[in-house]
Each structure stands twice: as structure tokens, then as C-alpha cells.
Amino acid sequence: MEEGDSISAESLSLETLASIRSLIINADTSDSVISSVFDFLTGLLSRGDSAILHHALKLLSDLASRRKELAPHIFESVFSNLLRLQNVAAEANHKRGAVESLVVLASLSERNHGIATELSKIDGEVFASICLGAPISYRLWVLRNAERFNVPSSVLFTLYLGFTKDPYPYIREVALNGLTNICKAGDFNHAHAVEGCYTRAVELLGDAEDSVRSSAVRAVSVWGKVMIASKDEEMNRRECTDAVFLQLCSIVRDMSVDVRVEVFRAFGIIGTASEIIILQTLSKKVLGAGKGKKPQNHLSNVSADVAAAAGVFIHGFEDEFYEVREAAVDSFHSLSVNSIKFPDEAVYLLMDMLYDDYMVVRLKALEALHHIADLGNLKIQETYMPAFLDAIVDTSENIRFEARNILKLAKLPDLKLVNKCVDDVLKSLEMYPQDEPDTLSALFHFGQNHANFLTSLVKRFSEKLGVASGNKSEFNSLHISASLMLIISAPLSNKLSIASIPPMAFSYSLAMLGKFSCGLQDIMDQDMLLAYLTHCAFLSASSGTEFNKGDIFCHAYRHGDADLAGNAVLLPSKDTTNESKYMASEAELEIRNQALKFVNYILLKIKAAWLISQSGCSKEALQALRACKQELATLTPDSSISNGALQFMCQYIHVIELLAQVWSHLEYSRHISTCIAVELDMLMEEVEIKLMEIRCRFTGLAMEVSLVMELVIFCCLLRLYRFETCCRLSYIEKLTSTISQLELHHEQQCTNPSDFLTETKKSLQEIGGSANINLCRLLHLIKIFSCFSPEQFTLSGNLQCVSVELEVPGNGPYSPISFLPGLPVAIQCEITLLNVPRDTCLWLRISRSDETCQFVYVDPNLYNSDGREKRFMFSAVTYMTLRAVMFTLRVSIGIECMFEEDVCYRKRHPGPKHPVAYLCKEREVHLNLVSRT
Amino acid sequence: MGYNCVCRNSHMDHVGALPYFTEVCGYNGPIYMSYPTKALSPLMLEDYRRVMVDRRGEEELFTTTHIANCMKKVIAIDLKQTIQVDEDLQIRAYYAGHVLGAVMVYAKVGDAAIVYTGDYNMTTDRHLGAAKIDRLQLDLLISESTYATTIRGSKYPREREFLQAVHKCVAGGGKALIPSFALGRAQELCMLLDDYWERMNIKVPIYFSSGLTIQANMYYKMLISWTSQNVKEKHNTHNPFDFKNVKDFDRSLIHAPGPCVLFATPGMLCAGFSLEVFKHWAPSPLNLVALPGYSVAGTVGHKLMAGKPTTVDLYNGTKVDVRCKIHQVAFSPHTDAKGIMDLTKFLSPKNVVLVHGEKPSMMTLKEKITSELDIPCFVPANGETVSVASTTFVKAKASDMFLKSCSSPNFKFSNSSQLRVTDQRTADGVLVIEKSKKAKIVHQDEVSEVLHEKNHVVCLAYCCPVKAKGESDNDVDLIKQLSTKISEIMSGAQIHEAENSLQVGSFKGAVCLKEKCMHRTEIISCSEAVFLCCNWSVADLELGWEIINVMKLNL
């Protein structure tokens, strides 16, 4: 116990220190000894000897990790000693001691939650003076760990910027990395500081050390990006982008691999450049137009010539190192996202990359090609066909997947290529049977895209079918299913008469329904497919006689669509993650309502797309709308735009997309072939269901109500114009009630009704009065529908999306619910509701595989509490028990859409009186007969 | 470096005369080669000797023993290995691409540093990487310039054209002859074909005619570390130089039916086996001759490339009908003009010398280097001497004070149009070179002491009229009045007042009673106005003028 005191400070040897350490480590040392050890060690701190200070700090940090309760005291004494050291003298020993204290303090506060905030006691001034005074070896540590301390970023910025001038390369590198991190954290947007930082980073692009150059490239890209964003005018911004881009180009031929990789990544970050520069990057020869053109580059003295960009991507693509090639392809992809017009040469260059030895490079190239194909710019030439076909039979699953994605969008110029392509797909299917669902889906799309060649394809495969039908064992083979899939996709493209397909093909397809619906699950579900196939089979057999309206097809579709209701429309694409990452990190720098600005921009695009579709270019319009969806997916909900608003936008674009598709069929004539009529009918149904859903699922709609209602009116008009002579009255009724409702809405909101609304109201009499519909008038109304006006989008923060999660806990194929036939059985459901308003009617739908169903009313008392999210258990009692050993039921939850304009149509049945919009996917519930034993 | 020899690669135009040089001329200094060059050179030299003597019957310049003895003197070096040849000369090798074992040489004599590139390639090919060098401080860069005006496009289309030409030929039942050098191109093209054969599942045989190529292949398989990343990584599973579809050629196969691909030396169809096969295969329109790269004027290869001849004279007077297809393979292991520019830009040497090329195109490139990169460039003819200035460093002692101030950073930020940072550390130093003394760097504060001179300070002075004469002429009031004025406009300024003077920082102003003050510019005389005689130091330059302006407003 006396040990601590018995050591006189003078006789302190390493042995004594070692024995102190053993005392600390030993868990059995009594508290009193420990406390005297603590006193002794803190006493040592104040001594001037730096060698002892080093050991004392080490021992104190050991002590703190063994005895947590002492940590705050240790922190306190080390900290006060640090301040003392700062004030004493500028001796090198003391400076070292200061840094060592800093190390101990940082680790202490990170290990002990109790003193986590204490570290902020070290203010910017103390930190800066330690950092400036530290010997070189310690300086590196201080700079690298600066972010662990709560130093104001202005101090850090000054320090980092200063140390980019350090003679030691490692310090320059760390300083540059620090600057990059500060920029990413988004704390700095002072114009002078940004430009100064950028200029300094540009200077260091010429550093002799590889690692400094690669850090400099990173810094140039992030600070360049900020600098570009800070420019007010579009003109300035573009000039600035070009200047940064060319600056990066100038170092693309660096000898260091890391630098080259970073440069290509940086291109991706900058993301865009003038077309002339992009063109130049694809050619090593300096192009005529680019000669002598020097974008204004007042930021650095180096005159940046477009020639600097010569062949940048050619070099990147033929680089020795796959890391560079990968980065190059990736940034190429990013550039293609942002450039509206991307030259064909670019596509050829990418195609060459499909031969790369490295899987990752090939994959990136395919992803980029997929994107270009999505924009409709992909023309696969014969030269490149082998590369593409190789990808289809590649050993890597990812590559095959991407290649099939491109296949879905590809357009091949002649029959020879189409045949070759189909052959290779069949070969791939043989080699990798596990890909079957996706391959089938790809063939389905491929078939639709190549309607011209389908006649011959049908001929080719019909023979095969004929052979196969005689031989039962072969009937199920992969080849047959694939060729059937190709054939049955035909009727969906309007250029092929259904009559040329043997009815046999459809009936065979029915036998493979499960397989097919599995492949096509992103387009349609099993019921719809079934309906489609039976319908086609019927049509094909009767070779084109008029079909009977109201057949099973539409019913099936109605059911089927409810399943899809909960599905998100959007799939996140590659560049979205990339983009949003940067957006998030630099969010502070952007103007606060940047997101809203972006949404407005998308709205403009939608409007443009609508106009395009009206002018007859429906394909382009659909592409534009699809691009809008993708762009929307890049947005992340934040303070300026809520998640609900984003979801609303998504759904809205989806409706417009459907309407554009309807329009493409409508534009030619009123009298169209039956198979198009079917498709049109399906589309209209979908639009109506979607609209109903939007109206039920979103709460807090402000001006958007008028938006949706106008769409409902528009749909009614379309219906009246195109189809429903039989159901005319009900549509007119709906039209009238919707119009009056919308007028009421405008009155309440004190807003002006749109021209479309007033015109429609005026002609209401004309349309509905006479027995014969005034088609001209209708068409006129349809044509003046202007989609929307921007003020109809308020996208307020209140806008929320209703969603539901349904689980049947503890149920599964191996743990079914027991039942007795004929007796009711209870299904225990766990329901989670999000944003469900108080006065809604929720229904639990329980259905059997034979489409009989039962609705169970969900007691509102269960969920009418306050709060956004509600979770409760609900027992649904069903009487639908069968005389079977086991069977499955499907349950889902829907919301009853009680709109004034709808006429109750289900008066006699128990259950909802109004249509139901389904809020979640169907869950399967497994039931099992109680065993008698 | 007159007494020292570095062989940059194993091609005959670089290594061909070496045995003659050492064994016949009697050169005795050290010879440096990279490991692959040392391995491949004897093969090349022996082959050369045999062709010269055994086939053409020319007089032999050196014998097999010469070669063996010569190779014994060679010192092998590795990449980036620095060799201190003697007290002054230091050399280091960098990877150059071009051919297996090719290097660029960095040499430093005293403080002067040069890089001699030898042949190099700035883009990677199937089996070799691109040239790789550090960013060095150079006085001179000597670069090859074989393709001083050519700019090549992407390599992929060129490769594809070649493959398609060969494929088309063999698919049509023809025979493809690829005359090539034993080293480099043969392996490159063969790898390309082997891969393609594998991918397209072609079963047509590929032959190597000469034993030399086969021997070289053996070395290639061993020297994997000198190849590109792609080959290095692949060779873990399969050595890419173990060609799967390649077989040895037998003379009897020349007339064998059916398609085949044959690699035969020499490359320019000037003699030897390739010419012999050409004689037999050229008359058939099914066949193909793929000529890689460059052919010297006068060779059959050159004649074939120059036009589309129907007959070609062979050297011994026989004529051959040429009905076969000719394909010129458009890739070369030499860098193109853009590559030379890129390397020059990357290294930014003080001077450039271009060698190994054709004069007119070299002049064009010289023009480009001078105008675009602003680096003096020379194109010396053989035997011409070029002198360039070289760096010499002066060694200087540093004073303690300067060293101390150097040990910690001393940043200065200026913020005029954008934030700029400078480190004052070295700027604080002053180089003092006195006669008969060693140079010394001292801190700027020490300069006067070292030079035994007094410090001079620059001051500004201005006698400023502050008030019209006439009214109450109280100096104290005036000073008070001025001081409030100044503090009003310049907030935060610390003003000290005295009876008839005021002081802000280094700015001092006192009432001037002189009739004629030398700091007075105005013509107003002392009787008309009260003057304040002001002086301030340069450090407060702007402050001073600001105060003057304030006081003038008072007038």
C-alpha cells in the first residue's frame, strides 16, 4: 500500500514503472493502492521530463482501461497538464508530450461513454497550436485523427489548407484528404475558400509523389463540384464544369495506377461536360471543332485546351489495369446518364469492353449499355453481336442477367441476327437452367420488340412444337417453353395478326402457366396471364371473330392488379445510389429546396412528355416518362420533400405513363382490331384502379385533389369516346358527380377551375343528353386536357402515404393452422398500419384458390388511436374451410374507397359496398385438418 | 557515359553489335541488361549469326564463342534498381513495354539527370504492360520517335480487324502466313489468336515455324513478372504462353491440304523460311499474308505493303504471282505521337532530344513539343552534338536560426480574389555567398548581422491639411475632433491622443507649424490652413492612407 509513496521521484527506473504497471494490471490490487498509484502518476505528469511523461501517460491510459471509474479523473488531470504544457515553452519535448496527451485523451473519451463529450474541451486554438508545434512524425497522427476531436471545421480547414504546403509528401496527402472530407461533410461554401482550395488541389496535381497526386485528384473533383454548384448562372456553371473536367483530363495519362483510377472516378463525380469535350474524349486525334477553343479558365493559369481531353476514354478503356478500365467504364456510364446526346462511337467503344478479361469490367460495360438501351440509343451491329452473345452465355450469373436486361430492350436490324440471338438464348438456357424465369421474361420482351420477324419465328417453332407434341417426355423441355414464350408474346404487339399463331401454342402455354407466370411476374400475375392465354386461344381458334365483352379476362385482371398495388413502381438503378450519395453529403451546400427544384424540373419533363405523346410520338414520350421515374428515384426524402410526396409523384407518373400508352392506341382511329381493344381495355382498367388507389392511399392532398379528379374526368371522357356504349349511363353519371365534386373543391379552396373543367362542364349537356354521343365534342375535350398545371402540385409536408403490413405469425407450410371442415377457424393476423386516417374502413380479404372470397371488417376501435404507426393483433374468423386435408388461403388488407360519385354496386353481398384498394401483398395462410388421433 | 553500356532491349537493332563491340573492338567496361534481355539476347545473336553466315554466306562478324564470352560480362539489373556505376554515375531502369525486358534508363551524373527511353510503348498490349516511370526532375529526355506523327485509335478495332481477316481466311479453307520477328509480335499475335480460337471454338491448327520462337516462348513462360497485370493474374490458373492451339511446324506441312495459320521468321519477308513459305502460298487467292508493323524499303514485305502487286521479284530473280490477300496488321510495339507527348508532358524535362525516327516527322513532333509544352527540343543528326544546360546544386550551410524557423510551419493566408496559402519557412531564408567562403543560408532577421549592416526601415510621410485657419485655433480641440472622426469611420482603431498629436498603430500625426514642410504637396500655405504632419511605417500602408482620407474629409 505504501508502494506509491515509497518511490522517490528521482529513483524512478524502468523497473519501478514496470512494477507499477503490474499493479495496475492485476485485478486484485486493492482500491487504496490504485488510488495512490493514480496520485503518483498524476504527480509525474507535471514534471518536465519528457521521457517520464511518455511512460506516465501510457500507464495512466492502462489504468483508465482497467478501472473505468477513474477515467474521468485521469482525463481531467491529463487535460489540465496538456493546457499547462501548451503554456510553458516551445521545447520540442513538450510538443511531443502534448501530442501524446492528445492521443491518450482521444482514446479515453472514445472508450468511456461517461466522458465522451469532454473531448470538446480541446478547442480549436489548443488543437491548432498542438498541431503546428508537433514534430513531423506526430504531425501525421494529429492530422489523420483531427476528425476525432470536436474542432471547428474552420480551424481544420485552415490547418489542412496550410499543410498542403508541407514539404513532406505524406503530410500533404493527409491534408488533401482532410480537405476532401471537409468538403464532403458540406460545411464550407465560402466562395474564396472554395476557389482557393480548388486551386491548391490543382497545383498539387503536379506533385512528384503518386499518393499526393491521387489525393489531389479527389480534392479537385469534390471541390470542383462545389465550385460548379456555387456558380449562379447557367453559362458560368457550364464553363466551370468544362474547366474542371479538362483539368482532370490533363492528368489522365499519369503513370500511377491509383491516380488514373481516381481521375476516372472524378469524371463520374463531375458527371457532365460540354458535348464538344465528350466527343473529344472519344478520339485521340484532336478534332477540328475543338482546335484552339479554350474555355475560360480564370481559376488557374494553365490554359485548358479541349485538346487535353483527346482520347481520354480510349486510354481509359485500353489501360493495362482492370481497376482503371472499371473506373473508366463506370464514369462513362455516369456521363451517359447526364448527356442527352451521346454519340454512337461511344457505344462501340463500350461494346469492345465486353471482350475484357475481367468480369467486373464486362459487368460495368453491360450496365452502361443497359442504361443506353433504356434511353433508346442502342443499336447492336453485327460486328458486336458475338460480344453480346458471349455475355448471354457467360459463366457469371450477374453478366448473364445484365445481358438479358439489354436483350429485353434491344432492337435487332435483321432476321439473321434475331435468329442467332434466339439460338444463343436457347443455348444459354440449356447451360444454365436456373436462369429460366428471367430468360423467359427476356424472350417475352424480345418477342414484342421484334414483331416484324415473328411470323418467321413462329413458323420455325411451330414445327418444333408439332414434333414435340408427339413425344410426351420432351414436351416439358426448356426449348419448348422458351419458344412458346416467344410465340405468345406476339399478340401484344399490334403488327402480327393473332390468326397466324396456331391455337395449339396457347393451349400448350396453358400447361406451363406456373412456369410462365413465374417468369413474367414483373409484368402480370398468373390470373392475368391465364386470362390472356385463354382469350388468345379463343381468338385464335375463332380466327378473329368479335369477342364477348365482360369475359373472364377483365375480371381476372381486376383481381390481379390488386396484388400489384403494394409494389413499388421503381427499381433503384446503379447511378441513383451514386448520385444520392453525393447529394446527401453536399446537401448543406445546395440550396435548401434543391429537391423541390428538382421535382419541378421533373414536372416540366412530364408535361413535355405528355405533349410529345399527343403529337404522336408515344414511344419517345414513354421513354421520357420512364427517365422521369428514374430521376425521381434518385431523390431521397428529406426536410424539403416528404416520402409521401415522392410516392405520390411516382404513382402520378405511372398514371400518366399508362395514359400515354392509351393515347398511342387512340390516336389513329376509333375502330381498331380486337386484340388492341383488349389491351386498351386493360390499360383503362389499370388507370382507373391506379386513380382510385391514389385517392385512397394518400392523405393530406391539397391542390393535388383537383389534379386527380381531373384525371378521373379525363378517364370518363376516354371511356365514353372509345368503348363503353353499353355502360354509357353509368359513366355519364360518374362524370357529372365528379365534376360537381371538383367544383365544390375549387369553391372551398378559393381556386379557379381549369379550362378543361369549365369546358367539360359546358358540354356535359351535349354529351349526355342525346342518345348518340357527340364524338367530335368528346374528342375536342380530350384534346384540350393539358395534363396539369404546375400549381396543382403543392407537395406539402402533410402528404402521406397509407401503408399496411400484414403478417400471420407462426404460420407456414410446416406449421399450419388446424381446422375442422365446416367449422369456422380463426386466423391470427399481426397488422401494422402507417398513416391510416381515423375514418377509414379497412377490410380483410380472405380468398381461396377458386376465387371465392370473404371480407372481414376490421374493427376501427383497434386502430383509432393517435400516432402515425399502429400495430395490433386481429383474429379473422373464416368459414371457408374445405373438406380437404390441407389447403391455403390468401389474406390481404384493403381500404374501402367511398367516393361520392361512385354508385354502390354490391348492395346485396355482405362486405364492402364500394371498391376496395389493396394496401399490401397477399399473404398465404396454410391450414391443416386436425388429425383424429 | 562513354565507358558504360546499357542494353535497353533484346531486339537486334539494339543488341546486334554487342559481341562485336566487346570481343572484336575490345570494349572493357560494364554492360547492363535487364534479366529478360540477358536471357533472350544470346538466342537472338546466335540466330542472327546463323542467318548471316550459314544462309547468306556473308563474312562472320563474331563467333559463337564471342557471344558466350560477351554475355559473361553482362550484369543483370532489375526494375527500379539503382546502380552506382562509379562515383558520379548512377543508373536506374524503368519498365518500357515494347518487348519483354525492355527498359528506359535513368542516369544521373553529379546533379544532371537524363532519361533515355529506348524503345517504349505507352499503351498496354496483350502480354506487356505500358511504360511506367516516376515523375523525375530531368534536365534531358531522349525519346525514340519511330511514329512521330502517327496517332492510333483504340486498339480493339485493330485487333478485331486482324482476327476477322485471319478467321475469314481459315474459314474459307485458306492458309494464313504471319511473318514476324521471333520476339514480341509473334507472342502478341499468337495470344490474340489463341484466345480467339478458344472463344470461337475454332479447331484450325496454328504453327510456329522457327525453333527460335519456341525457345523464346520458354523464357516468356518463366519471365511472367515482366508482363502485364492481365497475364500475371491469369498465369495462376493457366500460363497464357502455354498456347493451347499451337503446334510445331514441319516443312512437309507447307503443301498439306486444309487451312492453317503459320508464324514464320523473319518479319519483313526478306529471307529465310517466311519467304520460302510465301513463295508457295502467294499464288492462291484463298491464302492470306498478314504483315505486322513496319518493313524496310526493298524487302518483299515493303513491296506488298506499298501497293497491290500482282507479281513480286524474289531476290534470286524468280518471280511469284501474288493472288493471296494481304492484310496489314496495324499494331506496333512502339508508342505513337500522342504517347511521346504524354510521356514528355508527364516528365516535364528541361530539354528533349528525339532519336530513332524519320527526319520529317521528327521535325513536326519537335514543333509540337516546343509550341504545346514549351520545352526546347532537338533533333540531332548522327554525329551532331547538342549541348544543353544542366542542373548543378550549390551546397550551403544553414544557420541555426533558419533551421529552427524551418522546423515548424509558418503559414500565411492571403485573400484577395481567392484564398491562397504560402509557407513562409523557406521564404524567410536568405542565401549569402561571400567570396572565399562557403555559401550559407541565414534567416532574414540575421542578414544585417551577418553582413554587418544597419537595418533600414521604409516610412511614409505626408503633411496633411486638416482645417482651414481662422476659427478657434485650439490644437487640443482639433486633435479631439479628428480622433472622434477617425474612430467613427474606422471602428476598432485604437487611438492615442496627446496635446497636439495623435497615434494609431504606427501612424503618428502632429500639428505642423513649419512654414514649409518637405512632406507637404498642397500649395495651400501655412497661413491658410492647419497641417498635421503624419508618418507611418510600410506595414500600415493602407491604414495610413485611410486615416489621411478621413482627415481630408474634415477639411
| Chain A residue at shortest CA distance from B228 | A320
Residue B401 to residue B442: CA distance in whole angstroms: 7
In this complex, which of B129, B200, B415 lies closest to A320 when CB atoms are compared? B129
In this complex, which of A196, A207, A284 lies closest to B338 when CB atoms are compared? A284
Residue B343: what pLDDT?
Answer: 95
- Residue bearing the bigger pLDDT, B482 or B115: B115
Q: Residue A519: pLDDT above 90?
A: no
3-state secondary structure B37-105: HHHHHHHHHHHHHHHHHHHCCCCCCCCHHHHHHHHHCEEEECCCCEEECCCCEEEEEEECCCCCCCEEE
Which of A298-302, A595-599, B67-71: highest mean pLDDT? Answer: B67-71
**Nearest CA-CA distance, residue B108 and chain A, Å:** 18
In this complex, which of B199, B411, B418 lies closest to A196 when CB atoms are compared? B418
Which residues in chain A touch residue B411, judged by CB atoms under 8 angstroms apart?
158, 162, 165
**Would you call B392 helix, strand, or coil by DSSP?**
coil
pLDDT tier at A466, thresholds 50, 70, 90: low
- Average pLDDT in chain A: 78
Report how far apart, in Å, the C-alpha atoms of A635 and of each of A545, A642, B53, B254 are: 49, 10, 77, 68
Q: Residue B392: pLDDT above 70?
A: yes
Residue B320 to residue B279: CA distance in whole angstroms: 6
Domains along the sequence of chain B with CATH? 5-150+336-378 (3.60.15.10), 155-329 (3.40.50.10890), 397-451 (no CATH), 459-554 (3.30.1370)
Torsion of CA A705, A711, A717, A722, to 10 degrees: -150
Q: Residue B553: pLDDT above 50?
A: yes
DSSP class of residue A812 equals B
Report the pLDDT averaged over residues A179-205. 87
B453-458 — which CB contacts under 8 Å span 24+ positions?
B457/B537, B457/B538, B458/B537, B458/B538
Residue B176 to residue B162: CA distance in whole angstroms: 11
Cis status, amide bond into A813, omega within 30 of 0: no
Interchain proximity B229–A352, CB inside 8 Å: no
pLDDT tier at A303, thresholds 50, 70, 90: very low
**Nearest CA-CA distance, residue A192 and chain B, Å:** 4
**Beta strand pairing call for A853-857 and A842-847:** antiparallel
Which residues in chain B touch residue A284, judged by CB atoms under 8 angstroms apart?
151-153, 336, 338
| Chain A residue at shortest CA distance from B405 | A133
**Nearest CA-CA distance, residue B423 and chain A, Å:** 6
Report the pLDDT averaged over residues B200-222. 84
In this complex, which of A163, A254, A318 lies closest to B123 when CB atoms are compared? A318
Interchain proximity B151–A255, CB inside 8 Å: no
Residue A625 to residue A633: CA distance in whole angstroms: 12
The pLDDT tens digits for B6-42 are 766 777 778 888 888 888 888 888 899 999 999 988 8
| Chain A residue at shortest CA distance from B196 | A355
| Chain B residue at shortest CA distance from A350 | B156
The H-assigned helical ranges of A450-525 are 451-470, 478-488, 503-511, 513-519
Which residues in chain A touch residue B346, judged by CB atoms under 8 angstroms apart?
253-255
**Would you call B33 helix, strand, or coil by DSSP?**
strand
Interchain proximity A193–B133, CB inside 8 Å: no
Least confident of A218-222, A753-757, B397-401: A753-757
- Residue bearing the bigger pLDDT, A311 or B455: A311
CA atoms A311, A317, A319, A321: torsion sign? positive
The pLDDT tens digits for A10-56 are 567 888 888 899 999 988 888 899 988 898 888 888 877 777 888 88
| Chain B residue at shortest CA distance from A283 | B153
For chain A, give the percent of residues with pLDDT over 90. Answer: 11
- Residues B176-201, buried b or exposed e (16+ Cβ, 10 A)? bbbbbbbbbbbbbbbbbbbbbbeeee
- Residue bearing the bigger pLDDT, A468 or B449: B449
The pLDDT tens digits for A247-296 are 999 999 999 999 999 999 999 888 888 888 888 888 888 876 544 445 44
Q: Residue B366: pLDDT above 90?
A: yes
Interchain proximity A195–B419, CB inside 8 Å: yes
The H-assigned helical ranges of A375-470 are 385-392, 397-409, 415-431, 436-449, 451-470
Which uninterrupted H or E stretch holds B549? helix B541-554
Interchain proximity A196–B342, CB inside 8 Å: no
Which residues in chain A touch residue B230, judged by CB atoms under 8 angstroms apart?
320, 322, 357
Other beta carbons less than 10 A from residue B392's beta carbon: 8
Which uninterrupted H or E stretch holds B248? strand B246-248
Picking from A501, A503, A479, the residue whose alpha carbon sits closest to that of residue A490 is A501
Which residues in chain A touch residue B344, judged by CB atoms under 8 angstroms apart?
none
Picking from B150, B116, B178, B189, the residue whose alpha carbon sits closest to that of residue B334 is B150
Picking from B374, B345, B369, B373, the residue whose alpha carbon sits closest to that of residue B357 is B369
**Would you call B461 helix, strand, or coil by DSSP?**
strand
- Average pLDDT in chain B: 85
In this complex, which of A253, A299, A383 lies closest to B342 when CB atoms are compared? A253
DSSP class of residue A286 equals P
Report the pLDDT averaged over residues B467-490. 74
Q: Residue B531: pLDDT above 90?
A: no
Interchain proximity B123–A161, CB inside 8 Å: no
Residue A553: what pLDDT?
Answer: 38
Query: Packing angle between helix A397-409 and helix A385-392, nearest 10 degrees?
Result: 130
Interchain proximity B230–A322, CB inside 8 Å: yes
Which of A166-175, A741-750, A798-807, A858-867: highest mean pLDDT? Answer: A166-175
Report the pLDDT averaged over residues A103-112. 87
| Chain B residue at shortest CA distance from A386 | B200
Residue B139: what pLDDT?
Answer: 94
Angle, CA B156 vertex, CA B155 and CA B160 arms, to 5°: 120
pLDDT tier at A574, thresholds 50, 70, 90: very low
Residue B526: what pLDDT?
Answer: 63
In the chain, the amino acid numbered B432 is V
Q: Residue B138: pLDDT above 80?
A: yes
Residue A684 to residue A106: CA distance in whole angstroms: 65
Cross-strand pairs, A925: A889
Q: Residue B244: pLDDT above 80?
A: yes
Residues in chain B: 555
Interchain proximity A315–B123, CB inside 8 Å: yes
The alpha carbon of B258 is separated from its chain's Cα centroid by a whole number of angstroms, namely: 49
**In contact, B298 and B326? CB cutoff 8 Å:** no
**In contact, A479 and A423? CB cutoff 8 Å:** no
Residue A662: what pLDDT?
Answer: 81
Q: Residue A675: pLDDT above 60?
A: yes
Report the pLDDT averaged over residues B60-85. 90
In terms of C-beta density within 10 A (0-12 exposed, 13-18 middle, 19 or more buried), how is residue A41 classed?
buried
Residues of B designated as active site: 144
Nine-digit cell string for A847:
380468398
Q: List residues of chain B with CB under 8 Å from any CB of chain A.
A: 122-124, 129-135, 137, 151-157, 160, 199-200, 228-230, 234, 336, 338, 342, 345-346, 407-409, 411, 413, 415, 417-423
Residue from A357, A392, A431 whose CB has the most chain B CBs within 10 Å, to mutate: A357
- Residue bearing the bigger pLDDT, A167 or A786: A167
Residues in chain A: 933
Interchain proximity A165–B422, CB inside 8 Å: yes
